[in-house]
Structure formats: C-alpha cells, structure tokens
C-alpha cells in the first residue's frame, strides 16, 4: 500500500494539517525551459484552491504537471493524492486515480451531442456521476442533451466540460480558466455550481485570470510568480491585501 510521505508543510515551511493532495518541490520543463520551479503546496479534501499569478507565472503548467500530461515533463519532486504517488504515474493512471483536468479550450468533441460527450466519459471505469445526477446539477444540459456540444454557448460548453469530468469518479477537479470569455451572470452561475461540487466532497484547484472572482469562491490561494510560490494562505487574506494583489496579480 502506498503511503504519502510526511511533508505536510506549505511553501513557507509552516506546518499544516494532513493534506489530501500534496505537491512537493515539483520542477517541470518544456524542453530546456524551466517552467515550474520548485513549487510546493497542499490542498485539503473538499477545499477550493485558487492558483493565481500573472500571465506566464506557471499556473497552467502546474495544473498540467499535476494531471501528469507529460508536457511539461516532471524532472523533480513528488505529487501525492490520497496516499497515491501521482509523480510516478502516466496521465491515464492519474486519471484513474481521481485527477480530472478541464482545459482552457474545453475540448468538446465535434459531431457528438451533449449526451454523447457525457456518455463517452463513462465508457470505461471508474464511472462517476450518472447522467440523471449531472442533468440535475446542470438543467440546461438536460434541455440540450440532443444538441451538438460544440454549438452550445460558451457558458454551456464550460458546464459540459465540467459535467463530463464529473462523469468520471474523480477526487480532484483541475479547472484552467473556466470563466474566460463568459458574461458576469454566467460566471456567477458556474461559481454556484462549483460550490455545490465542493459540498459533494470534491476538491478543486482553479486557475483563473479573473482573480477576484476566483478568490471569492476559494477557501485558500496560492500565488505563483515566474514559476515559484510567493504566497500560500487564505483567499480572504489576498482579497484584503491591496499591495499583494497589485504586486503579483496586477489588480
């Protein structure tokens, strides 16, 4: 049985409660480019973590590293999820272990209906939410179940991408820019949905340029700058710290 090592500390080496997901000194490269530079943080079960920073800070690369996509390549460090060593896994193994990445471009499959996109995620175990449960959370998708997925509005496509992830038996939901290009009212709707998902015990990491919206949703925040952690603490602290936001988030 795999057992997570005892490195429950945050980026400032402060002791924390045992974490559900731990990244420890991870270093990842695109070719020779050193992108993720010794990043460490913990996420607790059922928590929403906002992973923030300016453009080019390494946020998406960190998400891709956690999902074990292979690009960027993890060269050093450890990633543990619920006592399982993600750092030694391929992407399909990490997915089976409970990691789900919803990328910025959503990857809705052309030529398939809403329901077919969802059913595709349920072809092989581990299967998560039923279609009925998904449609209860996303009534709009239920109404459009026979419509081709790529013809949905931007907000509906984002809902479909999240719903498709939930059709797998996931433990951690990784969201890359889920609010991009969406109207404020749709952002609020998706935020409410993510709160419901949190209440179901699913842990979420959200990368988002709309930092204020992400911080209002999140329990905690980690801020990256040029591939390294410069802040690890409560989301409320970032919202209240004008200097911190101005320096690292340009807001």
Query: Out of 1-5, 136-140, 164-168, 222-226, which region has the weakest mean confidence (pLDDT)?
Result: 1-5
Secondary structure (H, E, C), the chain: CCCCCCCCECCCCCECCCCCEEEEEEEEEECCEEEEEEEEEEECCCCEEEEECCCCCCHHHHHHHHCCCCCCEEEEEEEEECCEEHHHCCHHHHHHHCEEEECCCCCCCCCCEHHHHHHHCCCCCCECCCHHHHHHHCHHHHHCCCCEHHHCCHHHHHHHHHHHHHCECCCEEEEECCCCCCCHHHHHHHHHHHHHHHHCCCEEEEECCCHHHHHHHCCEEEEEECCEEEEEEEHHHHHHCHHHHHHHCCC
- What pLDDT does residue 124 have? 87
Which pTM was predicted? Answer: 0.92
Query: Out of 14-28, 120-134, 141-155, 197-211, which region has the weakest mean confidence (pLDDT)?
Result: 14-28
Whether a cis peptide bond, with omega within 30° of 0, leads into 6 is no
Mean pLDDT of 217-224: 98
- What pLDDT does residue 250 have? 84
Look at residue 1 and tell me whether its pLDDT is greater than 70: no
Look at residue 167 and tell me whether its pLDDT is greater than 90: yes
- What pLDDT does residue 106 have? 96
Higher pLDDT, 194 or 16: 194
Look at residue 196 and tell me whether its pLDDT is greater than 60: yes
Pairing relation of β-strands 172-176 and 203-207?
Answer: parallel
For all residues of the chain together, what is the average pLDDT? 93
For 39-64, what is each residue's pLDDT tens digit? 999 999 999 999 999 999 999 999 99
CA distances from 54 to 136, 192, 238, 249 (A): 36, 25, 14, 5
CA distances from 243 to 12, 20, 237, 249, 250 (A): 19, 31, 11, 10, 10
Mean pLDDT of 18-33: 93
CATH number of 1-98+171-251: 3.40.50.300
- What pLDDT does residue 18 have? 58
Distance CA 244, CA 1 (A): 42
Look at residue 200 and tell me whether its pLDDT is greater than 50: yes
pLDDT band at residue 13 under the 50/70/90 scheme: very low
Look at residue 65 and tell me whether its pLDDT is greater than 60: yes
Percent of the chain scoring above 70 in pLDDT: 92
Helix 154-166, helix 184-199: angle, nearest 10: 10
């Amino acid at each position: 049985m795999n057992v997570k090592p005892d490195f429950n500390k945050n980026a400032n080496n402060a002791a924390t409660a045992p974490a559900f997901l731990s990244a420890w000194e991870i270093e990842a490269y695109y070719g020779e480019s050193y992108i993720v530079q010794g990043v460490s943080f913990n996420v607790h079960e059922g928590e929403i973590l906002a992973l923030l920073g300016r453009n080019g800070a390494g946020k998406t690369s960190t998400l891709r590293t956690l999902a074990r996509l292979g690009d960027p390549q993890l060269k050093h460090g450890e990633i543990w999820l619920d006592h399982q060593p993600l750092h030694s896994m391929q992407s399909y193994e990490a997915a089976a272990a409970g990691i789900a990445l919803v990328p910025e471009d959503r990857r809705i499959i052309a030529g398939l209906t809403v329901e077919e996109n969802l059913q595709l995620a349920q072809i092989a175990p581990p299967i998560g939410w039923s279609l009925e449960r998904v449609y209860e959370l996303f009534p709009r998708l239920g109404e459009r179940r026979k419509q081709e997925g790529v013809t949905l509005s931007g907000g509906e496509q984002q809902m479909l991408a999240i719903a498709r992830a939930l059709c797998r038996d996931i433990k951690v939901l990784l969201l890359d820019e889920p609010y991009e290009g969406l109207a404020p009212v749709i952002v609020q709707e998706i935020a409410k949905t993510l709160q419901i998902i949190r209440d179901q015990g699913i842990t979420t990491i959200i990368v988002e340029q709309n930092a204020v919206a992400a911080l209002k949703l999140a329990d905690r925040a980690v801020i990256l700058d040029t591939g390294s952690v410069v802040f690890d603490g409560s989301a409320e602290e970032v919202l209240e710290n004008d200097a911190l936001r101005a320096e690292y988030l340009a807001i």
